[in-house]
Amino acid sequence: YSFFPGTPRWPSRRRDLTYAFDPRNELSEDVKRVFANAFSRWSEWTPLTFTNISDYSSADMKIGFYSGDHGDDEPFDGVLGTLAHAFAPPTGLLHLDNAETWIINDVFTSGSSSSTAMDLESVAVHEIGHLLGLGHSSVENAIMYPTIASGVKKVELDRDDVEGIQVLYGTNPENNGTVGPSFGEREMSGVARGSIG
Amino acid sequence: NFFPNISSIPPSFLPNHTTNPWDTFNKLSGCRSGQKVDGIAKLKTYFHYFGYLANTTGNFSDDFDDALEAAVKNYQKNFNLNTTGELDTSTVNQILKPRCGVPDIVNGTTTMNSGKTTSFQHSVAH
C-alpha cells in the first residue's frame, strides 16, 4: 500500500463521513446502492462510517459522472483508458468517466474480456480508497492496484488494502478480525489469486 | 451507460464500435532505447500523466531516450514485470489496460515497488 505525499487523512474528530451524488446525474437507486456497497467494504475494517445524504454541497465526499474536460484539469478520455479518479482527503471528490459502459449488478467471470464493460463497484471501491488517503499498490490482488481489466469484478479488500487503511484510521472496534483478510481465507472464498506482497 | 449485466448491453456498445485511446501503443511493442518511432511522444505523455516522466520542455519527442527507459523500468517495477526498460509485449499489454487516473508517482515519490529499496542494495559486494 502507499499514501499520498504528506499522508493526508480525514481528521480524527471526523469518523462519520457523508457522501452525496451530483444531482445533475440523476442516478438511479440501483447505481447508488453500488456505492453504498463499495463504502461498506472500507467501513468493515475501519472505525469509519459512511452515510449518503441528499445535500450535495455539504457532503464530505462528492461523487459524479462526467465526460471529457469537466473542470478539474483531469479530462476523461472516452471509452476505456482512464476510468475514474479521486482526490486525497479532505478534498473528497470522486469522478467517474461517463463514457464507460458500467455494469452494476452482474457478477463477472474472470477473463470475460469480450466486452468493454467495466464493473462499477470494483472501480468505486478503488476510488474510495483514494478518498480515504490510500495511493496505489503494487500488489496485484489489492483493490488499490491501478489497473483493472474489463469484465472483471474485484471488490474484496486484500490484506494489503486493510493494512494500509488501518495505518491511517485504526481498526473497526466492532470487527474481531482486525488484522485483515488472510491469504487462506481469500483463497477459500474463491477469489482468483496471484502474487501477494 | 449503466447496464445490469453484460447480456443487456446493446451491440452498439460492443468492442467493434469502441476504441481504447491507448490502442496506438500496440505498434510500439518491441521498441527500445535509442530508437525513434512515431508515437513515442504520445507514450511519453502517458508516462508523464501517471508520474513516471518529468516534462521540462513542454512537449515530447519521438525519441526513445534515457528518461523514457528509466520511466519504463519504474513502470515495470511497479507492475511486477521484468525490468528490461524495453517495451516488451507484457509491458505494452499492461499499459493498454484500463486504469485509475490517479498517478502512480506523485511529486516524484511513491511507495509502490519502484520507490522501495530492494534488499540487495543493502548487501556488501565482494
Q: What is the pLDDT of residues A86-140, one digit of tens each?
A: 999 999 999 999 999 999 987 655 445 456 889 999 999 999 999 999 999 999 9
pLDDT at B49: 95
Indicate the SS3 state at residue A21.
Answer: strand
Q: Is A173 on the interface with B (CB under 8 A)?
A: no
pLDDT at A11: 96
Q: Is B109 on the interface with A (CB under 8 A)?
A: yes
pLDDT at A128: 98
Q: Do β-strands B99-100 and A82-86 pair in parallel, antiparallel, or remain unpaired?
A: parallel
pLDDT at B117: 61
* pLDDT of B77 above 90: yes
Q: Do B2 and A5 touch (CB under 8 A)?
A: no
Catalytic residue among A100, A127, A140, A187: A127
The rounded distance, in Å, linking the Cα atoms of B78 and B57 is 26
Residue B5: band (very low, low, confident or very high) from pLDDT cuts 50, 70, 90: confident
User: Which helix (H) or strand (E) segment is B70 a member of?
Assistant: helix B66-78
Higher pLDDT, A110 or B54: B54
Task: Enumerate residues 82 to 141 of chain A having a beta carbon within 8 A of any beta carbon in chain B.
Answer: 82-86, 98-106, 108, 112, 114-118, 120, 123, 126-127, 130, 135-138, 140
Report the mean per-residue pLDDT for chain B.
86
The stretch B4-27 carries a mean pLDDT of 77
pLDDT at A105: 83
Tell me the percentage of chain B whose pLDDT exceeds 70: 87
pLDDT at A26: 96
Q: Do B6 and A108 touch (CB under 8 A)?
A: yes
Q: What is the pLDDT of residues A155-195, one digit of tens each?
A: 999 999 999 999 999 999 887 655 556 544 443 333 322 22
Residues B64-103 as b/e (b if ≥16 CB within 10 A, e otherwise) read bbebbbbbbbbbbbbbbbeeebbbbeebbebbbbbbbbbb
Chain A neighbors of B93, CB-CB under 8 A: none
Task: Enumerate residues 33 to 52 of chain A having a beta carbon within 8 A of any beta carbon in chain B.
Answer: none
The stretch B77-83 carries a mean pLDDT of 96
pLDDT at A177: 55
Chain A neighbors of B18, CB-CB under 8 A: 79-80, 116
pLDDT at A139: 96
Q: Is B93 on the interface with A (CB under 8 A)?
A: no
Q: Confirm whether A127 is a catalytic residue.
A: yes
pLDDT at B97: 94
CA distance A179 to chain B (A): 21
Closest to A2 measured CA to CA, from A161, A181, A156: A161
Please give the distance of CA B64 from its chain centroid, rounded to a whole number: 14
Indicate the residue of A2, A102, A116 with minimum beta-carbon distance to B110: A2
Q: Which long-range contacts (CB under 8 A, 24 or more apart) does A77-80 make?
A: A77/B21, A78/B19, A78/B21, A79/A116, A79/B18, A79/B19, A79/B20, A79/B21, A80/A116, A80/A150, A80/B18, A80/B20, A80/B21, A80/B22, A80/B98
pLDDT at B3: 84
Q: What is the pLDDT of residues A30-47, one digit of tens each?
A: 999 999 999 999 999 999
Q: Closest chain A residue to B8 measured between Cα atoms?
A: A103
Chain B neighbors of A138, CB-CB under 8 A: 77-80, 112-113
pLDDT at A1: 94
